[in-house]
Amino acid sequence: MSNQAILVAVSVLPVVIWLYLLLRRGLFWSVRRSLPPAPVNRPTAAAVAVVIPARNEADVIGRAITSLLRQDYDGNLHIVLVDDASSDGTAETAKQAASGLGRDATLTILCSKPLPDGWTGKMWAVSQGVELALERQPDFLLLTDADIEHMPGNLRQLISWAESRNLDLASLMVKLRTATFAERILIPAFVFFFFMLYPPAWVASGKRKTAAAAGGCMLIRPAALQGAGGIAAICGEIIDDCALARRVKRTGGRVGLGLTSDASSIRSYGGFRQIENMISRTAFNQLRHATALLLATALGLLFTYVLPVALLRLGIPAAMICGALALGMMAGAYVPLLRFYRRNPLWAVSLPLVAVFYLYATLHSAANYWRGRGGEWKGRAQDI
């Protein structure tokens, strides 16, 4: 077989990959299918306890607390904030937010105890918050982050979704911040890759093992959490949200994963370096620290995103057609999410470059782990 024939044969590969991704990967790219259904009626007035772990979050915690206290929801709502050894006045800022609305009694602030061996800081804070929250015997626990701002109808939508689908864990990927140039070009792709890895249709299916959640907004029934072993069962997990979803699903629980614009992250990821650090904090952990999986991921990204661009430059008509087809399907899959983020669809042409950036961040994640510096967050190395 001639070299040209080999190149033409290889050029078919990205076309096959994108046909599979478009048609056989749970339609992960469809934003419409990922949005939870709008409530038809107001949900029952279920009691909800919110647990927020916070470590040096004074710049965002006030808005997060205020948004929760302004929920358009008829049921009982109480917030437990676990202050994880903050040094910037996080607890005081949270108190001021509640006081400003005359809702001091709705907020309980708990100072985290010293971190025990085997626990990540976040999970230890969540565990203490959940223990206190369960004393109120809530119907649901809402596990959310200190940088999440909830629109007034978000909790009502979550409760309605969980009740109508009988979900034990209902989780929404919140709308991430896209203010800087780096955020605008990289953050939508982060969500795109996440749903490609964990198609919501597969997460919801009882016939598939795929399970995932988005840690910024997770509504869970206390019985399901207890059945999954509680927070202690995931005490050392870096990607704790997906670990919790796996345990809930393995123990017979029903899991829902979706996308929303009714809750958003107000944390600034800044420039390219900050976003790269965010990705590399968990990327190699996602690959279970396996070099073989790292190599497979690198090859997969190159064949899926970079090869179609290279084929356009070969000067071989058949290869160029395959490259153009693959790029067209790639753009078609990415456009719905770009529209969700109110980005011009032409940004889809940047996806191959963005994939290279994510590959670099993944390789950097592996290098950090091998150097004993994996998973650094808020001054703690969590993945070593």
Within a 10 A sphere around the Cβ of 134, how many other Cβ atoms? 17
Q: How far is CA 201 from CA 41, 164, 179, in A?
A: 24, 16, 30
Q: How far is CA 245 from CA 66, 225, 238, 242, 280, in A?
A: 28, 10, 13, 5, 22
Rounded to 5°, angle at Cα 189 from 301 and 198: 75
* DSSP-assigned letters across all residues of 116-151: PTT--HHHHHHHHHHHHHGGG--SEEEEE-TTEEE-
pLDDT computed for residue 7 by the predictor: 79
* DSSP-assigned letters across all residues of 297-344: HHHHHIIIIIHHHHHTTS--HHHHHHHHHHHHHHHHHHHHHHHHTT--
pLDDT computed for residue 90 by the predictor: 97
Whole-angstrom distance, CA of residue 99 vs CA of residue 11: 63
The sign of the CA dihedral 338, 340, 341, 342 is positive
pLDDT computed for residue 380 by the predictor: 64
Whole-angstrom distance, CA of residue 182 vs CA of residue 180: 5
Rounded to 5°, angle at Cα 24 from 263 and 292: 85
CA-nearest of 181, 171, 173, 187 to 341 is 187
Contacts of 215 (CB under 8 A, 6+ apart): 143, 145, 171, 240, 241
Of the options 3.40.640.10, 3.40.50.300, 3.90.550.10, 3.50.50.60, the CATH number for the domain spanning 35-268: 3.90.550.10
The residue type found at 7 is L
Averaged in consecutive runs of 10 residues, what is the pLDDT profile of the chain (384 residues)?
Answer: 74 96 97 87 87 97 98 95 95 97 97 94 97 98 98 94 96 96 97 98 96 97 98 96 98 97 93 94 94 97 97 90 97 98 96 98 95 72 68
Contacts of 302 (CB under 8 A, 6+ apart): 359
pLDDT computed for residue 377 by the predictor: 67
pLDDT computed for residue 6 by the predictor: 78
Within a 10 A sphere around the Cβ of 291, how many other Cβ atoms? 11
Rounded to 5°, angle at Cα 200 from 248 and 359: 100
Contacts of 240 (CB under 8 A, 6+ apart): 120, 122, 123, 126, 215, 234
Return the domain boundaries, the chain: 3-28+276-378, 35-268
pLDDT computed for residue 8 by the predictor: 74
pLDDT computed for residue 43 by the predictor: 73
The residue type found at 302 is L
pTM for the structure as a whole: 0.94
